[in-house]
């Protein structure tokens, strides 16, 4: 994961920087939002790469059994051919020439016909297995190439994100140095909040989220010391045996959609039309989230940004007798 080193020296303006404190604050806000969108796209591509790697593993594990089956069919074809030769000599006509009665002729022909049918069946199976093997090889080649392209794109995206982070941090340093930084949040939103009485998976998710307060935001991180928004959700539900993708949009696909009136602690709140941000609801019209680069995990009101929807993550049922 990427670690940011805070700039200690006073920041100074550079060509292209915002000219006024208001412009600087707006640029920081806009850049933070845009960076979060890029980060979730990065997480999506990384999730795709993980899927590709898993598919490659599945295919590779199929090769050995396929090769064993092909070898077994080839061996049986050889045994059948040998049996046919022993039954008829060098050609089927020999079965007729060597027969000493009509009954023997019929028996020999029946044996040869049975062997021919067995051989035909084995050859058909062998052809099918070879086709499977060749198709798997082609699919594997395609997946490997896809994985390489995904790795290249991830590297390029990571470089872009690191550059954007450095620029955003420089502007924040500049806003502090020029006295243009403002605080838009009103106090500690934990004040006045009453922890809901929940049990089971809900309680574990809630307690985990609360324990992460104050930890830093890092893109693509899912703990233990840093998180991005979807990484915080992934880590929380991993604790209760639920595997969620490290991507807010794909997390939205996994949840049961609920209404705002149905919200309870441990549910998820999704933001923006493109679903590039997610938070964990903690009750009292509040949620916990990892906001953006340069900020820490914190409590905010549910409506701190445009809400796109609400969802409940299906969790394993508690054992009998336990809540």
Residues labelled catalytic: 229, 277, 289
* DSSP for 104-134, written as a single string: HHHHHHHHHHHHHHHHHHHHHHHHHHHHHHH
Q: Are 246 and 234 in contact (CB under 8 A)?
A: yes
* DSSP for 41-107, written as a single string: HHHHHHHHHHHHHHHHHHHHHHHHHHHHHHHHHHHHHHHHHHHHHHHHTTSHHHHHHT-SSHHHHHH
Which of 208, 271, 213, 194 lies closest to 240, judged by CA? 208
Q: Cα(290)–Cα(222) distance, rounded to whole angstroms?
A: 10
CA 185, 264, 248, 236 torsion: positive or negative? positive
Structural tokens at position 250: 């794909």
- For 34, residues 6+ apart whose C-beta sits below 8 A from its C-beta are 164
Backbone angles phi, psi at 89, to 5 degrees: 85, -130
Q: Are 238 and 246 in contact (CB under 8 A)?
A: no
Backbone angles phi, psi at 168, to 5 degrees: -60, -45
Structural tokens at position 214: 């104050």
Q: Are 247 and 234 in contact (CB under 8 A)?
A: no
């Amino acid at each position: 994961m990427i670690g940011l080193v805070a700039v200690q020296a006073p920041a100074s303006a550079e060509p292209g920087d915002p000219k006024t404190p208001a412009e600087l604050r707006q640029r920081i806000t806009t850049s933070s939002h845009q960076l979060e969108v890029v980060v979730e796209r990065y997480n999506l591509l990384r999730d795709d790469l993980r899927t590709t790697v898993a598919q490659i593993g599945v295919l590779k594990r199929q090769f050995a059994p396929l090769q064993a089956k092909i070898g077994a069919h080839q061996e049986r074809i050889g045994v059948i051919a040998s049996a046919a030769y022993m039954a008829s000599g060098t050609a089927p006509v020999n079965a007729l020439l060597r027969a000493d009665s009509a009954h023997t002729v019929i028996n020999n022909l029946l044996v040869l016909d049975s062997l021919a049918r067995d051989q035909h069946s084995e050859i058909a199976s062998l052809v099918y297995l070879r086709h499977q093997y060749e198709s798997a090889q082609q699919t594997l080649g395609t997946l490997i190439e896809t994985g390489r392209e995904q790795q290249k794109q991830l590297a390029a995206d990571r470089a872009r994100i690191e550059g954007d982070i450095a620029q955003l941090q420089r502007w924040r340093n500049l806003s502090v140095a020029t006295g243009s930084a403002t605080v838009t949040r009103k106090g500690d939103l934990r004040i006045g909040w009453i922890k809901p009485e929940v049990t089971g998976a809900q309680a574990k998710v809630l307690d985990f989220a609360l324990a992460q307060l104050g930890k830093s935001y890092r893109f693509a991180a899912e703990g233990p010391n840093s998180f991005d928004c979807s990484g915080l959700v992934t880590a929380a539900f991993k604790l209760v045996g639920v595997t969620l993708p490290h991507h807010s949009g794909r997390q939205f696909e996994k949840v049961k959609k609920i209404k705002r009136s149905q919200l309870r602690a441990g549910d998820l709140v999704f933001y923006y039309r493109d679903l590039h941000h997610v938070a964990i609801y903690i009750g009292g019209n509040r949620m916990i989230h990892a906001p953006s680069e340069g900020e820490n995990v914190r409590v905010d009101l549910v409506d701190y940004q445009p809400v796109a929807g609400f969802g409940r993550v299906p969790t394993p049922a508690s054992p009998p007798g336990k809540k």
